[in-house]
Chains A and B, each alone.
Chain A
Amino acid sequence: MYFAVFFALLLGTGLTVFAATLDLGRFNAPVALGIATVKATLVALFFMHVWHASEKLTKMVVVGALFFLLLLLGLTMTDYATRPWS
């Protein structure tokens, strides 16, 4: 199990380097962040044992932290990303 996750993470690293050399237009950033998020999720779920966490409270803290991070990034971007070009 651990080795499968390990190889998936190495594969993801190779993939993200390869994707960066392609011209995907505006999709370069979402692809890079998508691969990074898949890798981070694998590390959290399997290496950090969130998947098998005995405590529901632990899972709540993880989800809560991510929720507030998304509030921080998301609400900031609703401002900066929707301003008219100057």
Chain B
Amino acid sequence: MPDSTVVGLHHEEEQHPELLHHFADAEQQRDASSLGMWVFLATEIMFFGGLFCAYLIYRRWYFGDFAAASKTINMGYGATNTAVLICSSLTVVLAVWAAQTARRTLLIGSLIVTMLLGLTFLGIKGIEYRDKFVEHHVPGASFSFQNEPIPGHPGQYANPSHAQIFFSLYFVMTGLHALHMIIGLGIFTWLLTMAWKGRFSPEYHTPVEIGGLYWHFVDIVWIYLFPLLYLIDRHP
């Protein structure tokens, strides 16, 4: 049986060091990782879905109050942040492409730009939260929302306790989204370290793809949060 031993040894040598022994080949391993990430994202969809459901119910009940509260959030910050996240999604696909085609400089550059855009998003978000604190629009003992007109209904003013529900949803939804951004920055720091060490190759770059899926998902959540929270009723 010396022949088969030689063949076996040869096969071992060909295997990529990142290929785990319980997978038949690298493609199966990559598909399994990708599928696992998608299952995780499915649980994330349900996680955010519950909040979106609560939002839809209260928005129906207190539409005028929600529109009045929505109008006090800075639309410019929200739109800028949407553009920032779309740019970061582009740099993420560039990073994945760079990993696939063994372009190390582009990979590292794209990861760094993605993280800078993520930090920009969080910075703008921080300014926005600060404005809300200054205006006493943070739910709690010092919440105040007096004499805020309901758009489209001259002479009517928003009910402060209904507006407080809007701001509760606003802070929980954007806060949970921001937490995901912070976790994403952590994942990308790790990806950057791995890329710096030259651990990724066209044969093995699954972490970049998986991290990219996460980042795009967080972008999609924002794509819905922006019109729902910032743009309820903006016509003059």
Give the distance to chain A from B194, nearest Cβ to Cβ, in Å: 20
Whether A61 pairs with B39 at a CB distance below 8 angstroms is: yes
Q: A16-B227, A48-B216, A57-B35 are in contact. Are A28 and B233 (CB under 8 A)?
A: yes
Contact B35 A55 (CB under 8 A): yes
* B residues with CB within 8 A of A: 27, 31, 34-35, 38-39, 41-42, 45-46, 49-50, 52-53, 56-57, 60-61, 75, 79, 82-83, 86-87, 89-90, 92-94, 97, 152, 209, 212-213, 216-217, 219-220, 223-224, 226-228, 231-236
Interface residues of A in 1-56 (CB under 8 A from B): 2-3, 6, 9-10, 13, 16-17, 20-23, 28, 32-33, 35-36, 39-40, 43-44, 47-49, 53-55
Q: Provide the bound-state CA to CA distance between A77 and B227, in Å.
A: 19
Q: Which residues of A contact B61 (CB under 8 A)?
A: 80
- 20 A-B pairs (CB sep. < 8 Å): A3-B90, A6-B90, A9-B89, A10-B83, A13-B83, A17-B231, A21-B236, A22-B235, A28-B232, A36-B224, A40-B224, A43-B89, A47-B92, A58-B38, A61-B38, A64-B42, A65-B45, A72-B50, A72-B53, A73-B53
Number of A-B contacts (CB under 8 A): 119
Q: Which residue on A lies nearest to B59, using beta carbons?
A: A29
Closest residue to A6 on the B side, CB-wise? B90
Chain B residue nearest to A73 in the complex (CB):
B53
Main DSSP-derived SS at the B contact region? helix
Would B79 and A17 count as touching, CB distance under 8 A? Answer: yes
Contact: B56 with A76, CB < 8 Å?
yes
Question: Are A66 and B227 touching (Cβ within 8 A)?
Answer: no
Chain A residue nearest to B87 in the complex (CB): A6
Closest beta carbon of chain B to A71's beta carbon, Å:
10
Chain B nearest CB from A39 CB (Å) reads: 5
Tell me which of B31, B90, B213 contacts A54 (CB under 8 A): B31
Q: For A13, A64, A72, which residue has the most chain B Cβ atoms within 10 angstroms?
A: A13
Question: Which chain A residues border B220 with CB–CB below 8 Å?
Answer: 40, 43-44
Docked-complex contact B231 and A61, CB < 8 angstroms: no
Give the residue among A10, A47, A48 with the most B Cβ atoms within 10 A.
A48
Flag if A62 contacts B38 (CB, 8 Å).
yes
The interface residues of chain B lying within 8 Å CB-to-CB of A36 are 223-224, 226-228
Q: A65-B46, A72-B50 are in contact. Are A13 and B90 (CB under 8 A)?
A: no
